[in-house]
């Protein structure tokens, strides 16, 4: 199957028979009218899930599903899990693969027929981000459920899962369409990978009793039983993996983690780990946190079909969801990109050709000016989601957790790995007893990875009545943000040297980048300024992952995409440490592997 751009849709062909969907691509119905009973019989009871959940002696249970469809199996499973796990702190990890997009309009049409799972469906929709190819991670904390939804060719998706030991499955839902018409999902290669992702006592359930499916499962070390099917089905297959592979995923309970650097990456990572019950010490070199008063979470959607493009797209949607649900000050205003150069025009034209009217809208100059009460000559592109975040306020909110201790004024010196990890600081203090260490500050990363560069940047806060009606982030060569605390912030200046923002040259540089937006602004209108640093790498990709013995990790080099990248990459490292299914593909992990810059 040709790999699609992460923003391309792969919509299945459906005809509706009353309120029941029928797939014309595979000439098969999605489910029986009594789908709640069907899922309980074919998957939940076949895998003996309720009994196993009651006796669960590890941090989480992992289900693998082939064929997400409308998500009904997922929601029905949540209902059973919540009933079994209502007073528990364990998590259900649900990994589902489908080559076709999840369509919210079709979902709503289906779900209205099943009021018994409406509450779970409503919670799911609340957390559902914009559709994209590749991985989507959704955390339903209310029910202690994590969904990793993978929109990709099934064989490719399983190959990616195989590269990470945290992806071993406890129970399989094999729910593809009729094997006669959907051969790619029931191929020898797919069933072989199902076996490789299984371990001792992994179970499976499937509605099909096709002979070639049974034989392939048996060849791949499954004990297979043909039993009575559900409803008008004569038979179905259930079984258990006979191999001796043991669960190799680590546990999150009892972990203690040290994080160096309390910027955006360190803050997000502390929050993610603490929510899994991990004790976190967050060390910051400065006595006071110097965090951006207002930054724009704007995308850089790549036009290529590669790991970078998938990362930028997935991370942007994940971050939008994360800020919407965790930070009450998120200004989801949409972002306007002015069509002010040939390169920008090419980029906008290509994005519009993807047909994502739910995400992009072309705007004429007249519309942009009317909506924002400005006067400039360019049309442009409205990206309908995204906006502004005060990193300073965000940090204050998400660090309020009993599992996080913030230590200011601690300049990191070195570390040592023994039975546990010990840290030394330049103030003479020493801390030890850590299971893991994570570097998130640019200066500490430089000592480990010399190819990381440090860029200085600055923005200004402007008080001018001509900017007060700007409603969206407006990006040209620079940017101007909507009013926040009576100021419109504008930027940005970059330099290899420390920037002194209070001089006229700095103001004029920002003016040049935003010449039409700031044409009625003067130096005396600058009421505030902020300067900071960011780490960058030669290939403009971040570094995130293990650096040493799966105990020392790094997260950095996010450049100007920190607000878009930090939440997802923090989720990735948290997942590695806690033994949780990865929220990104193996292809992305390889592209951001910190070891790619180490001297060999």
Q: How far apart are CA 302 and CA 6, in angstroms?
A: 9
Please tell me the predicted confidence (pLDDT) of residue 252. Answer: 67
498 Cβ contact list (under 8 Å, min separation 6):
456, 531
Contact between 184 and 174 under an 8 Å Cβ cutoff? The reply is: no
Task: Using pLDDT thresholds of 50, 70 and 90, give the confidence band for residue 243.
Answer: confident
Averaged pLDDT, 187-215: 94
What is the b/e burial string over 87-121, where b = at least 16 CB atoms within 10 angstroms of the residue's CB?
Answer: eeeebbbbbbbbbbbbeeebbebbbeebeebeebb
Averaged pLDDT, 237-250: 80
Judged against a pLDDT cut of 90, whether residue 136 lies above it is answered with yes
The dihedral through the CA atoms of 245, 248, 249, 253 has a sign that is positive
Judged against a pLDDT cut of 80, whether residue 254 lies above it is answered with yes
The answer, yes or no, to whether the previous bond of 492 is cis (omega within 30 of 0) is yes
SS (H, E, C) 372-424: HCCCCCCCEEEECCCEEECHHHHHHHHCCCCCEEEEECCCEEEEEECCCEEEE
Contact between 531 and 460 under an 8 Å Cβ cutoff? The reply is: no
Q: Which two tokens stand for residue 490?
A: 């504008």
What is the b/e burial string over 573-588, where b = at least 16 CB atoms within 10 angstroms of the residue's CB?
Answer: bbbbbbbbbbbbbbbb
Residue 101 Cα to chain centre, angstroms:
17
Q: How far apart are CA 72 and CA 543, in angstroms?
A: 37
10 Cβ contact list (under 8 Å, min separation 6):
4, 99, 100, 101, 133, 151
| Secondary element (H or E) of residue 137 | strand 134-140
| Secondary element (H or E) of residue 135 | strand 134-140
Count of C-beta atoms within a 10 Å radius of residue 279: 18
Q: How far apart are CA 22 and CA 14, in angstroms?
A: 6
Contact between 510 and 529 under an 8 Å Cβ cutoff? The reply is: no
What tens digit of pLDDT does each residue of 414-440 get? 999 999 999 999 988 999 999 999 999
Q: At residue 158, what are phi and psi to the nearest 5 degrees?
A: -65, -40
For the chain, the C-alpha Rg in angstroms (whole number) is 26
Please tell me the predicted confidence (pLDDT) of residue 600. Answer: 43
| Secondary element (H or E) of residue 188 | helix 188-196
What tens digit of pLDDT does each residue of 163-175 get? 998 999 999 999 9
> Strands 14-17 and 235-241, how do they pair?
unpaired
What tens digit of pLDDT does each residue of 74-112 get? 999 999 999 887 667 789 999 999 998 888 888 888 888
Q: How far apart are CA 12 and CA 33, in angstroms?
A: 20
Averaged pLDDT, 382-392: 93
What tens digit of pLDDT does each residue of 511-530 get? 888 888 998 898 889 888 88
Averaged pLDDT, 552-565: 92
Predicted TM-score (pTM) of the model is 0.94
Inter-axis angle of helices 104-111 and 72-85, to 10 degrees? 60
Please tell me the predicted confidence (pLDDT) of residue 512. Answer: 84
How many Cα neighbours within 13 Å face the side chain of 484?
27
How many Cα neighbours within 13 Å face the side chain of 111?
23
539 Cβ contact list (under 8 Å, min separation 6):
none
Mean pLDDT across the chain, nearest whole number?
90
Q: At residue 55, what are phi and psi to the nearest 5 degrees?
A: -105, 15
The dihedral through the CA atoms of 515, 519, 525, 527 has a sign that is negative
Q: Identify which of 184, 104, 112 has the alpha carbon closest to the alpha carbon of residue 152.
A: 184
Q: Identify which of 325, 213, 335, 214 has the alpha carbon closest to the alpha carbon of residue 271.
A: 325
| Secondary element (H or E) of residue 346 | helix 342-352
Tell me, what DSSP letter sits at residue 571? H
Range in 63-67, 347-351, 360-364, 593-597 with the lowest mean pLDDT: 593-597
Q: Which two tokens stand for residue 454?
A: 């440090």
Q: Identify which of 448, 464, 529, 436 has the alpha carbon closest to the alpha carbon of residue 491.
A: 529
CA dihedral 389, 148, 121, 398 (to 10 degrees): -30
Percent of the chain with pLDDT over 90: 66
Q: Identify which of 198, 203, 284 has the alpha carbon closest to the alpha carbon of residue 247.
A: 198
What tens digit of pLDDT does each residue of 263-283 get? 999 999 999 999 999 999 999
SS3 570: helix
SS3 365: helix
Domains of the chain (ranges; CATH) run: 14-241 (3.40.50.150), 256-290+392-452+539-597 (3.50.50.60), 335-384+454-535 (3.30.9.10)
At residue 386's C-alpha, the angle toward residues 384 and 389, to 5°, is 155
Judged against a pLDDT cut of 50, whether residue 65 lies above it is answered with yes
Q: Which two tokens stand for residue 409?
A: 């004024």
Q: Identify which of 59, 96, 52, 56 has the alpha carbon closest to the alpha carbon of residue 249.
A: 59
Tell me, what DSSP letter sits at residue 247? P
Q: Higher pLDDT residue, 140 or 183? A: 140
Q: How far apart are CA 432 and CA 420, in angstroms?
A: 7
Judged against a pLDDT cut of 70, whether residue 314 lies above it is answered with yes
Please tell me the predicted confidence (pLDDT) of residue 68. Answer: 93
Q: How far apart are CA 510 and CA 488, in angstroms?
A: 13
Q: Which two tokens stand for residue 35?
A: 């789908």
What is the b/e burial string over 362-393, where b = at least 16 CB atoms within 10 angstroms of the residue's CB?
Answer: ebebeebbebbebebebbbbbbbbbbbbbbbb
What tens digit of pLDDT does each residue of 465-519 get? 999 999 999 999 899 999 999 999 998 887 777 776 665 666 788 888 888 899 8
């Amino acid at each position: 199957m040709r790999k699609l751009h992460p923003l391309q849709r792969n919509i299945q062909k459906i005809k509706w028979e009353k309120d029941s969907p029928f797939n014309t691509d595979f000439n098969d119905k999605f489910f029986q009218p009594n789908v709640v009973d069907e899922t309980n019989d074919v998957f939940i009871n076949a895998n003996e899930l309720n009994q196993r959940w009651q006796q669960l002696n590890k941090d989480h249970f992992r289900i693998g599903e082939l064929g997400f469809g409308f998500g009904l199996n997922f929601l029905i499973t949540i209902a059973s899990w919540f009933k079994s796990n209502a007073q528990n702190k364990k998590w259900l990890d649900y990994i589902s693969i489908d080559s076709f997009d999840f369509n919210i309009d079709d979902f709503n049409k289906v779900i209205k027929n099943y009021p018994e799972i409406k509450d779970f469906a409503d919670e799911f929709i609340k957390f559902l981000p914009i559709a994209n190819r590749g991985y989507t991670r959704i955390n339903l904390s209310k029910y202690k459920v994590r969904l990793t939804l993978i929109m990709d060719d099934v064989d490719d998706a399983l190959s990616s899962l195989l590269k990470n030991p945290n992806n071993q499955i406890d129970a399989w839902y094999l729910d593809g369409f009729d094997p006669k018409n959907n051969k790619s999902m029931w191929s020898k290669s797919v069933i072989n990978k199902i076996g490789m992702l299984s371990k001792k006592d992994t179970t499976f359930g499937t509605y099909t009793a096709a002979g070639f499916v049974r034989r392939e499962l048996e060849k791949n070390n499954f004990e297979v039983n043909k039993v009575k099917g559900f409803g008008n089905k004569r038979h179905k297959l259930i079984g258990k993996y006979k191999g001796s592979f043991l669960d190799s995923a680590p546990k999150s309970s009892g972990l203690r983690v040290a994080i160096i650097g309390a910027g955006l990456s360190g803050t997000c990572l502390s929050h993610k780990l603490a929510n899994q019950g991990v004790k976190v010490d967050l060390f910051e070199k400065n006595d006071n946190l110097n965090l951006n008063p207002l930054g724009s979470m704007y995308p850089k959607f790549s036009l290529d079909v590669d790991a970078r493009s998938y990362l930028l797209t997935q991370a942007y949607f994940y971050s939008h969801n994360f800020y919407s649900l965790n930070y009450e000050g998120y200004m989801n205003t949409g972002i306007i990109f002015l069509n002010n150069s040939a390169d920008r025009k090419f980029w906008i034209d290509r994005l519009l050709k993807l047909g994502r009217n739910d995400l992009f809208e072309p705007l004429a100059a007249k519309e942009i000016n009317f909506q924002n009460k400005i006067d400039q000559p360019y049309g442009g592109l409205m990206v309908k989601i995204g906006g502004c975040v005060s990193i300073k306020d965000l940090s204050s909110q998400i660090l309020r957790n009993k599992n996080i201790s913030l230590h200011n004024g601690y300049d990191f010196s070195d570390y040592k790995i023994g039975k546990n990890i010990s840290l030394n600081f330049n103030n003479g203090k020493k801390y030890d007893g850590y299971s893991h260490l994570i570097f998130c500050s640019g200066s500490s990363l430089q000592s480990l990875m010399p190819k990381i560069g440090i860029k200085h940047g600055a923005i200004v806060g402007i008080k001018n009545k001509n900017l007060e009606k700007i409603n969206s982030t407006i990006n040209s060569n620079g940017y101007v943000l909507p009013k926040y605390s009576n100021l419109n912030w504008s930027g940005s200046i970059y330099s290899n040297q420390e920037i002194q923002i209070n001089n006229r040259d700095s103001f004029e540089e920002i003016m040049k980048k935003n010449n039409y937006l700031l044409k009625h602004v003067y130096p005396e209108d600058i009421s505030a300024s902020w300067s900071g640093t960011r780490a960058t790498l030669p290939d403009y990709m971040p570094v995130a992952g293990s650096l040493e013995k799966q105990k020392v990790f790094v997260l950095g080099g996010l450049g100007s995409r920190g607000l878009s990248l930090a939440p997802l990459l923090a989720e990735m490292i948290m997942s590695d440490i806690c033994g949780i299914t990865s929220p990104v593909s193996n292809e992305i992990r390889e592209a951001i592997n910190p070891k790619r810059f180490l001297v060999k």
